[in-house]
């Protein structure tokens, strides 16, 4: 399973480089194309596990001005 993240950055928010480092610190890899980052689960996970993980991502980026769009695929 993989979770893809698209990020919209606010000019009034945190620097892109800071958000990039925070995402890398959570295990996301940069991606080229439609999505900015991808997280490889390396196993099948349940919906509650995905939601809990994404709650953590939102908490980590709170206050940065980033707007996030998540897509998780099997």
Q: Which segments of the chain have a pLDDT < 50?
A: none
Q: Residue 50: its pLDDT value, please? A: 97
Q: Residue 19: its pLDDT value, please? A: 96
| Contact indicator for 66, 7 with CB cutoff of 8 Å | yes
Q: Residue 27: its pLDDT value, please? A: 97
| CATH no. of 2-73 | 3.30.70
Q: Residue 56: its pLDDT value, please? A: 97
pTM for the model: 0.91
CA neighbours closer than 13 Å in the CB half-sphere of residue 74: 4
Q: Residue 70: its pLDDT value, please? A: 97
Ranges of each domain in the chain: 2-73
């Amino acid at each position: 399973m993989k979770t893809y993240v698209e990020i919209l950055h606010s000019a009034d928010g945190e620097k892109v480089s800071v958000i990039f480092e925070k995402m890398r610190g959570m295990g996301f890899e940069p991606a080229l194309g439609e999505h900015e980052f991808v997280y490889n689960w390396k196993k099948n996970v349940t919906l509650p596990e995905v939601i809990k993980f994404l709650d953590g991502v939102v908490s980590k980026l709170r206050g940065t001005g980033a707007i996030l769009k998540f897509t998780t695929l099997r």
